Structure 1
Amino acid sequence: MSDKIVIGGVTVDTRHWIGGERVASGDTFTDHSPIDGSALGEISRGTPTEAAAAVAAAKAAFPGWAATPRAERARILHAVADGVEKRLEELAVVETTDNGALLRSHRRGVMPRVAHNFRFFADRLLTLGHEDFDTRGHTNHVSWDPAGPCVLITPWNAPLMLATWKVAPALAAGNTVVLKPAEWSPLTASLLADIAAEAGLPAGVLNVVQGYGSEIGDALTSHPDVRRISFTGSVPTARRIAASAAVNLTPLSLELGGKSPLLVFADADLDLAVELAVEQYDNAGQVCLAATRFLVEEPVAEEFTRRFVDKATALTQGDPRDEATDIGPNIHPRQLEKIDGFVRRALAAGARAVIGGHRLDGQFYAPTLLTGVAQDSEIVQEEVFGPVLTLQTFSDEEEAVRLANDTRFGLAATLVTGDRERADRVSARLVAGTVWVNCFFVRDLQAPFGGSRHSGVGREGGTWSFDFYCDLRNTVTAPKGWTDRG
């Protein structure tokens, strides 16, 4: 059996990357494309043995990388970004084939963002610092010290972008990394290992272990030599990781689910509101930040719905490699079944499908909008992670805020209004890590990112990433007591 597969003319190694070498497992798992269900190849299936080897490699490489001057670390990270940009088309083709997201999005937005992740944190590293300050004549000096080996567990919906959102600051901080990509979309993580090695990243600084979380997750997250764990994914998996990490009190960063609201007030620009609403079908609804709950003020609800239906039904669903496609497939038959189960149960409970509400051929689900849903219903309270949206109405600002905050999640919220004072009032009351006013998905790496409640623990981005990936130290020095050796 070959250790390499070819995707769109791009060769991808299917083995792990541990200590600067390719390592095969005794067993494999099959990676399928969501576009047509075809088998892309056999991927090395990690065991606790490979997990332990990866952590050992990261531990061995840590002292050298931590001692590498900041400027040199930054130079290498910029070289990784150069490698990403050089292979941007290859990365886009492989990731589209592997996870079904739009090729045009990968080319124009996602892969350029991957390179930017490395450049941003490389540059931020060079300016990282805090002014010394005085305490009764004593000098306080704050430093960010590398923490040690980090385990980074990443999701399938934006594999490389979300992986590098963690890898880049962890490496910039002087840590070493064990990256465990999602088993449904592992291929671009393997390519990242090649790019990093070509950029001069020392052996063992970045390791990639593939496989099922149920088989290797505990070996990674409970390992006593791991100093940080960052995870993006579901709440149930986060609970298991947190329990595993608790054995060693390993600090965690968790970016979890969302059930975000889109609030549309009667004074809003309805064309803008509808445009933002239709954007929630991006990536076939497989976006944690998606505003899946439409909350619309009663006087404009009928008109909003009419305009939304007109715009949503004009979307093109099909092969994500086609430039004309707006919505691609869902990632996996299991995820498709989960989505359909949510909708079928909602319809049985009395919801009405204004559009969609059913599966299509292959791994596609029709863009869906449900009305007649109760606030305490499963479809309103639980994350579907597919192209399924709900619409409820409200009568006043107080009810809008109450409905918006009435879930266990708090990842994001979107607010559309023509009244600046209302925007300030309402956004200040929304429980969310990110609030967008008259816009959606505007992201800057300088900003803190994370969720409230069950949407996560901690914040990353900007200096917040370094705060997580480092041990902060304050050194206090007395003004006297020195021996003059002049």
Structure 2
Amino acid sequence: MTEHTLTVAGVAVDTRHWIGGERVASTETFPDVSPIDGSVLGEISRGTAMEATAAVAAAKAAFPAWAATPRAERARILHAIADGVEKRLEELAIVETTDNGALLRSHRRGVMPRVAHNFRFFADWLLKLEHEDFETRGHTNHVSWDPAGPCVLITPWNAPLMLATWKVAPALAAGNTVVLKPAEWTPLTASLLADIAAEAGLPAGVLNVVQGYGSEIGDALTSHPDVRRISFTGSVPTAKRISASAAANLTPLSLELGGKSPLLVFADADLDLAVDLAVEQYDNAGQVCLAATRFLVQESVAEEFTRRFVEKAGQLTQGDPRDEATDIGPNIHPRQLEKIDGFVQRAIAAGARVVIGGHRGDGQYYAPTLLTDVAQDSEIVQEEVFGPVLTLQTFADEDEAVRLANDTRFGLAATVATGDPERAERVTAQLVAGTVWTNCFFVRDLQAPFGGSRHSGVGREGGTWSFDFYCDLKNTVTAPKGWQSHE
């Protein structure tokens, strides 16, 4: 091992940036701490504007050749990256679990296989991406997707590699080059991805990884005039700063931001199903942007729903995420834990009643919490907590349910539990959300558009929508006798 390598559960991870096909160290470092036990995993190269600028320059230099690479060859390399992910799936799973505290069983069975699928899906979608030619007064219209240029992709800590590759894969497939800036709390699997991509034959400079604090390198990336696209997943305040930074160059943005999504439970719902959906909102210790954190339950079944929920939630096991029996792991960082507890204690002080939880556990664990007797305009109802904290309110009828559901500044997702198909159709049509699930949760297909409304985001990605964002769309119109000389 070298001074620039750390070892996580036997897996070697390079702590330096990946720029222009080479490892680059910074003079300063920052500690990477595991949320499981608070141990320092290692010191990570702390990027500055110098490394950020170098990464954009490397992406710019690599862009012409990669953009000119035939679609089939780009797709082949993306499939090779997927092969590399699958080959190192166990290593990626244990490193990510150690780094961000999410369940190892989930990483093994769902998250890391999805990482590989992200590359395969967009590689295959690229090969069938087309728009049928059409005529206008005898003229032929041909629509094409042209690579846009270097892209800056800024990704969060709650599902680091999966959400990074959700952006990296379509950007690369489209023929763009990438500067990936992973969250400083979870940098390790992005470094491993750089190794995997290089081994798969991705040319130098096509993928670059710059680590560090957003406050120190973010502006150098997002205000750079050579950057052609910026995609960000994270908080609303950070998105506003990125938007302001990008505005000088009119750089197009894709923003997937916070959520305060509702779960609407009607009296005619299968209550066992509704309770299962409700308990699922504690997934990843509540650190899921799509989580339905606001339970809206029809008055006539609220008492029974609550009883069953408390019983079901009481069966959850909180503990070490590396243990197969664990259902809820730690929260990511002491600062996040403070934020979560602050929300809860302020809500209690304002009159909220604790149904379950409402307190910290040992270390960076927070007890699964449900609060009721909360006002619609209260902080706990209106603001994203991003922890295992849920609220319960009741409603009398459909109109009130929809009004309460839509009464926040967010609009990322919504979930509806009902046994009446006509009601489902009426209610879902009125909900302000980028994704609505009826009698299910977290069913996602990469063909579908994904994004949020209101303060939950700008734009949509997925399927052709991703290529629409990561490309410059061109329409070429040819006259019926366009090839004939006018002489």
Does residue 251 (structure 1) correspond to residue 255 (structure 2)? The answer is no
Aligned to 1:43: 44
Tell me the secondary structure at the aligned position of residue 99 of structure 2. Answer: helix
Return the alpha-carbon distance in structure 2 between the equivalents of residues 236 and 211 of structure 1: 19
- For residues 103-152 of structure 1, give each alpha carbon's deviation from its aligned partner in whole angstroms, at most 9, with x where no partner exists: 00000000000000000000000000101000000000000000000000
Q: Which amino acid aligns with 2:216?
A: E
Return the alpha-carbon distance in structure 1 between the equivalents of residues 151 and 276 of structure 2: 40
Q: Which amino acid aligns with 1:364?
A: Y
Aligned to 1:56: 57
Aligned to 2:101: 100
Q: State the shift of 1:2 in Å.
A: 1.0
Structure 1: segments with no counterpart, 5+ residues? none
- For residues 194-214 of structure 1, give each alpha carbon's deviation from its aligned partner in whole angstroms, at most 9, with x where no partner exists: 000000000000000000000
Return the alpha-carbon distance in structure 2 between the equivalents of residues 369 and 428 of structure 1: 28
Does residue 212 (structure 1) correspond to residue 213 (structure 2)? The answer is yes
Aligned to 2:4: 3
Return the alpha-carbon distance in structure 2 between the equivalents of residues 372 and 364 of structure 1: 25
Does residue 450 (structure 1) correspond to residue 451 (structure 2)? The answer is yes
- For residues 340-389 of structure 1, give each alpha carbon's deviation from its aligned partner in whole angstroms, at most 9, with x where no partner exists: 00000000000011000000110000000000000000000000000000
Aligned to 2:176: 175
> Map of 1:49-448 to 2, 5 A cutoff?
49-448=50-449
Return the alpha-carbon distance in structure 1 between the equivalents of residues 93 and 295 of structure 2: 32
Q: State the shift of 1:285 in Å.
A: 0.1
Return the alpha-carbon distance in structure 2 between the equivalents of residues 411 and 354 of structure 1: 26
Tell me the secondary structure at the aligned position of residue 40 of structure 1. Answer: strand
- For residues 419-469 of structure 1, give each alpha carbon's deviation from its aligned partner in whole angstroms, at most 9, with x where no partner exists: 000000000000000000000000000000000000000000000000000
Tell me the secondary structure at the aligned position of residue 163 of structure 1. Answer: helix
Q: State the shift of 1:484 in Å.
A: 7.0
Return the alpha-carbon distance in structure 2 between the equivalents of residues 337 and 162 of structure 1: 25
Q: Which amino acid aligns with 1:412?
A: A
Return the alpha-carbon distance in structure 1 between the equivalents of residues 316 and 300 of structure 2: 27
Q: Which amino acid aligns with 1:86?
A: K
Tell me the secondary structure at the aligned position of residue 423 of structure 1. Answer: helix
Return the alpha-carbon distance in structure 1 between the equivalents of residues 133 and 431 of structure 2: 36
Return the alpha-carbon distance in structure 2 between the equivalents of residues 74 and 355 of structure 1: 49
User: Which ranges of 4 or more aligned residues in structure 1 deviate by more than 3 Å?
Assistant: none
Tell me the secondary structure at the aligned position of residue 360 of structure 2. Answer: coil
Tell me the secondary structure at the aligned position of residue 391 of structure 1. Answer: strand
- For residues 135-193 of structure 1, give each alpha carbon's deviation from its aligned partner in whole angstroms, at most 9, with x where no partner exists: 00000000000000000000000000000000000000000000000000000000000
Q: State the shift of 1:483 in Å.
A: 3.6
Return the alpha-carbon distance in structure 2 between the equivalents of residues 333 and 2 of structure 1: 27
Q: TM-score, normalised by structure 1?
A: 0.99
Q: State the shift of 1:482 in Å.
A: 2.4
Return the alpha-carbon distance in structure 2 between the equivalents of residues 35 and 482 of structure 1: 68
Q: State the shift of 1:314 in Å.
A: 1.1
Return the alpha-carbon distance in structure 2 between the equivalents of residues 343 and 448 of structure 1: 34
Return the alpha-carbon distance in structure 2 between the equivalents of residues 403 and 6 of structure 1: 49
Return the alpha-carbon distance in structure 2 between the equivalents of residues 280 and 482 of structure 1: 61
Return the alpha-carbon distance in structure 2 between the equivalents of residues 49 and 149 of structure 1: 17
- For residues 18-76 of structure 1, give each alpha carbon's deviation from its aligned partner in whole angstroms, at most 9, with x where no partner exists: 00000000000000000000000000000000000000000000000000000000000
RMSD of equivalent CA atoms: 0.8
Total equivalences in the alignment: 485
Q: State the shift of 1:481 in Å.
A: 4.2
Return the alpha-carbon distance in structure 2 between the equivalents of residues 136 and 475 of structure 1: 15
Tell me the secondary structure at the aligned position of residue 445 of structure 2. Answer: coil
Q: State the shift of 1:10 in Å.
A: 0.3
Tell me the secondary structure at the aligned position of residue 135 of structure 2. Answer: strand
Q: Do the aligned partners of residues 136 and 311 (structure 1) sit closer, same or farther apart at CA in structure 2, a change above 3 Å counting?
A: same
Tell me the secondary structure at the aligned position of residue 80 of structure 2. Answer: helix
Q: Which amino acid aligns with 1:396?
A: D
